[in-house]
Amino acid sequence: MRKLILTAAIFLFPLWAHGAASKDQVKLVEYFLKTPTKNLNPDLVPAFLSVGSQNLPKKLREKYTAKVMELYSLRKTAEGKKEGFIRTPDDSSPQCREFRVKKGLRMYSSVFPKDLVKGKSVPEIMRMLRLGHFARLSGQYMPCLQKKTQCTEQDMVCGFTLNILSAKKGKGRRNYYFIYENDPLGVAYSLCEHPGIGKNTHFFGEKPSVLCSH
């Protein structure tokens, strides 16, 4: 699994080939989609990432994109673990910026390139994130999550796997929050969502799994 993550990191922004995928490429994609990520052959990751959803049969595109999202998220999570308990997110990175998905819809992410979601609708992106093992967070707990971790939303996007969808709603906007299922922010979020968890046990404790430092 470790080798798989490192291989994915090298090809973070693959140069997708143009033209319909070959039979061998389609077979490769089908192998990746039906095989648990931990059992994948890491040497095949670059070839998989280079295919590109637009070159695949329509029935495979969404699941392919979701698997790519998962690989990028594994890379991001692995990088974060190397930093340890205290994180110093690089908020100045150009990858930590909001980009336009389509008219009225923006996304804030450092996990994967905008090409993966460009032109998609909110339901389409949500479905792909769900297939890619992302969990949706409730906006009502975001202030608590920021307080517990001492991380701003921008820190969570830059240093972790938080993805924010911002959709126009009337005269304002509505935000949707998602993190990868293995993101350590999930522990802190659970403490916000269920304040009583761990009060009577030393196993959980009341401390979040990560903190931000500036």
Question: How does pLDDT run along the chain (214 residues), one tens digit per residue?
Answer: 545 554 444 444 454 556 789 999 999 999 999 999 889 998 899 899 999 899 999 999 999 999 999 998 988 888 888 887 888 877 777 677 788 999 999 999 988 878 889 999 999 999 999 999 999 999 999 999 999 999 999 999 988 999 999 999 888 999 999 999 999 999 899 999 988 665 554 444 556 678 888 7
pLDDT recorded at residue 11 = 47
3-state secondary structure of 211: strand
Q: DSSP characters for 52-116?
A: -GGGS-HHHHHHHHHHHHHHHHHHHHHHHHHH-SEE---TT-TTSEEEEEETTEEEEESSS-GGG
CA distance 56 to 53: 5
pLDDT recorded at residue 13 = 47
pLDDT recorded at residue 14 = 52
Beta pairing partners, 109 = 97
CA distance 133 to 50: 21
Q: What is the pTM of this model?
A: 0.83
For 87, counting Cβ atoms within 10 Å of its Cβ (0-12 exposed, 13-18 middle, 19+ buried), the class is buried
> In what helix (H) or strand (E) does residue 212 lie, and over which residues does it extend?
strand 211-212
Using alpha carbons only, give the angle 32, 83, 44 rounded to the nearest 5 degrees. Answer: 20
Three-state SS letters, 151-193: CCHHHHHHHCCCEEEEEEECCEEEEEEEEECCCCHHHHHHHHH
Q: Closest Cα partner for 167 from 196, 114, 126?
A: 126
pLDDT recorded at residue 35 = 95
pLDDT recorded at residue 8 = 44
pLDDT recorded at residue 86 = 82
Using only C-alpha atoms, what is the Rg of the chain? 18
pLDDT recorded at residue 206 = 58
Tokens of 172: 């304002």
Beta pairing partners, 163 = 178
